[in-house]
Amino acid sequence: MTWNENGGRLGEEFFTPGSSSFTEFLAAHRPELLSTRRVLPDGVRAAPDQVPHGTTVLALSYRDGVLIAGDRRATMGNLIAQRDLEKVHPADDHTAVAFAGTVGLALDMVKLYQVELTHFEKIEGVAMSLDGKARRLAGMIRQNLGQAMQGLAVVPLLTGYDPSAPEGERGRIFSFDIAGGLYEKTGFHAEGSGSPYAGGALKKLFRKGLDRREAALAALQALWDAADDDSATGGPDINRRIFPIVAVITEDGFERLSEQETEALSGEMVEQRRDRPDGPNATP
């Protein structure tokens, strides 16, 4: 007999056959636990200067897989709400998700997504395919549409290593819109308020076959350009030793670059910017 934490027998819902989706299980039996289902009262809209928002995140493919990075700043209107927010998270061993948008909802969505992938693997006995992971995240975003229309949008960026893809194309990038639209991106992509500037920098710096160090420097240069033109994006904070989060996903799995490595690369980039404030030219 199986017992719950209060000493009572688990309800019948735990023994009823269903899908391998943990989100669907909660929606059917405990919908109040799904933060993405809570909609504000009719006519109410969240004030943008009262809710922390995360800003710029980006991803680019490179020789060994895919790199994903994000700045650390969260803002409430014209105020800096947090200087060391973590916007890049592993979803499982070979997948990572970063976010821009409403911080509280985004963090809840990331945690739920991590459980969703773990639950599927335990039920099915195999990991979900990368395409399946992208579709599952799109469905979770679609559940948040009501809140997004009331000013509480979350826009994730999904990356993963796909061993079934052709050689050289195994690092894949997926973007979404607030209605759950799913789009696969080739090469690189950026989201958030600084994305026009970060995307422009990546368009200049990206090329096929980048090694890990070159890809990390390109990401840091792009985040610098975003911070240079977008006040909601934070650049490297040398005095506080707060630097962007940079992570890679390869055949060996998810790896976040160490603080020491990110600090060293950021310092190198800052020195380059002393001579070239507008950043490096496009590589031939």
State the catalytic residues: 55
What number of other Cβ atoms are within 10 A of residue 218's Cβ? Answer: 26
- 258: Cβ–Cβ under 8 A, 6 or more apart, which residues? none
What residues does 102 pair with on adjacent strands?
53
Within 138-237, strands assigned E span 154-161, 171-176, 182-185, 188-191
What residues does 3 pair with on adjacent strands?
9
Rg, C-alpha atoms of the chain: 20
Residue in 177, 176, 221 with CA at minimum distance from that of residue 197: 221
Token code pair at residue 57: 């995140």
Q: What are phi and psi of 66, to 5 degrees?
A: -145, 145
What residues does 188 pair with on adjacent strands?
60
- How far apart CA 49 and CA 229 sit, in angstroms, is 20
Report CA dihedral (187, 211, 249, 195) to the nearest 10 degrees: -40
Quick check: 266 and 236 in contact, CB under 8 A? yes
